[in-house]
């Protein structure tokens, strides 16, 4: 990282991360604005998972943003004259994983579905933006690159699919950080932005299809479960009826056997008496 790129007022993307559901697998960037980046990151990650984009703009504290001079240290470039904390923005996109036709769909339904979350916090006031009206589109393009770049490992790499928090930090953090730096000093290209929009639309449609497919399958399984429960209740009633009949038959047999035994005992007592007479 060059000395120039460390100036927080020039960095476009200040922080980014990739998560699997609520597990952050890799993140890159820093928080040079006295906790503002962290607050924006937590706020965007806390938003509900949806098929499309989610946004967050850093809200003022106590009615206004805290604005103060940044500390001038050797680790960053000298503070500009304003030295103010910008109104940071955050954005994220979700990729709902499609189910494989070869897999056991019913088993997958009873586990938490995988939703990949790509998030970023950026500074719309950074001095390196060529066109301040396209800041959001540029960040969306960066996120689209991350989606494409991780498509294969998200399918086959065990760390991505099952790893704990920061499982991919060692293998991918440097790549993520480099892409952020490249974004800071790259120029916007209309053709790339157009392609990005098309890819985003395709992903949104795919997410909606995945959500609807899961809901349909859940309804089907719920209906199947309801029918099985009804059959189970009917079976239990039949079993109770059979047991009742068996118990009645046993009781009747007991009465018959008891009567025979009583008669036999009576005869055994009566016969000697009659003979004696």
pLDDT at 237: 79
> 175: Cβ–Cβ under 8 A, 6 or more apart, which residues?
149
Q: How many residues are given for the chain?
A: 277
**Integer CA distances (angstroms), 187 to 138, 184, 192, in order:** 9, 8, 11
State how far the Cα of 243 lies from the Cα of 97, in Å rounded to an integer: 50
| Residue 160, φ and ψ in degrees, nearest 5 | -70, -40
> 47: Cβ–Cβ under 8 A, 6 or more apart, which residues?
54, 56, 92
pLDDT at 192: 55
Residue 123 contacts residue 84 (beta carbons within 8 Å): no
pLDDT at 62: 47
Ordered mean pLDDT values, 10 residues apiece, the chain (277 residues):
58 94 94 90 93 86 44 38 74 81 49 87 85 83 90 92 95 93 68 55 65 69 78 79 78 65 66 67
Instruction: Say if residue 120 is exposed, middle or buried (CB neighbours under 10 Å; 0-12, 13-18, 19+).
Output: buried
> 99: Cβ–Cβ under 8 A, 6 or more apart, which residues?
105, 108, 210, 213, 214
pLDDT at 27: 96
- DSSP per residue, 113-130: PPEEEEEEEE-TT-TT-S
- H/E stretch holding 234 reads helix 190-276
pLDDT at 266: 65
pLDDT at 37: 93
pLDDT at 101: 46
pLDDT at 73: 35
Question: What secondary structure letter does DSSP report for 180?
Answer: H
> Helix (H, G, I), strand (E, B), or coil: what is residue 55?
strand
pTM of the model: 0.64
Alpha helices in 110-189 (DSSP H): 135-149, 151-156, 158-162, 169-184
The crossing angle, in degrees rounded to 10, of helices 190-276 and 135-149 is 50
């Amino acid at each position: 990282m060059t000395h120039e790129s460390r100036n927080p007022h020039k960095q476009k993307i200040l922080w980014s991360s990739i998560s699997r559901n609520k597990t952050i697998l890799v993140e890159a960037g820093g928080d040079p604005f006295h906790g503002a980046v962290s607050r924006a990151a937590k706020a965007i990650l806390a938003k509900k998972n949806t098929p499309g984009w989610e946004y967050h703009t850093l809200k003022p504290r106590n009615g206004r943003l805290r604005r103060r001079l940044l500390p001038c240290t050797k680790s960053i470039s000298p503070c500009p004259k304003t030295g103010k904390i910008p109104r940071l923005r955050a954005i994220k996109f979700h990729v709902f994983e499609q189910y494989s036709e070869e897999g056991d769909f019913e088993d997958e339904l009873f586990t938490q579905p995988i939703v990949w979350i790509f998030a970023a916090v950026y500074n719309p006031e950074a001095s390196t933006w060529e066109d301040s009206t396209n800041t959001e589109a540029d960040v969306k393009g960066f996120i689209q690159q991350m989606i494409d770049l991780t498509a294969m490992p998200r399918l086959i790499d065990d760390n991505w699919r099952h790893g704990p928090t920061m499982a991919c930090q060692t293998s991918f953090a440097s790549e993520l950080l480099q892409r952020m730096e490249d974004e800071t000093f790259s120029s916007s290209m209309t053709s790339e932005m157009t392609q990005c929009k098309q890819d985003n639309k395709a992903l949104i449609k795919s997410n909606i299809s995945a959500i609807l497919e899961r809901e349909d399958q859940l309804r089907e399984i719920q209906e199947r479960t309801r029918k099985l429960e009804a059959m189970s209740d009917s079976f239990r009633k039949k079993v109770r009826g059979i047991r009742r009949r068996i118990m009645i038959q046993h009781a009747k047999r007991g009465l018959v056997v008891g009567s025979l035994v009583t008669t036999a005992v009576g005869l055994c007592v009566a016969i000697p008496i009659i003979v004696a007479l």
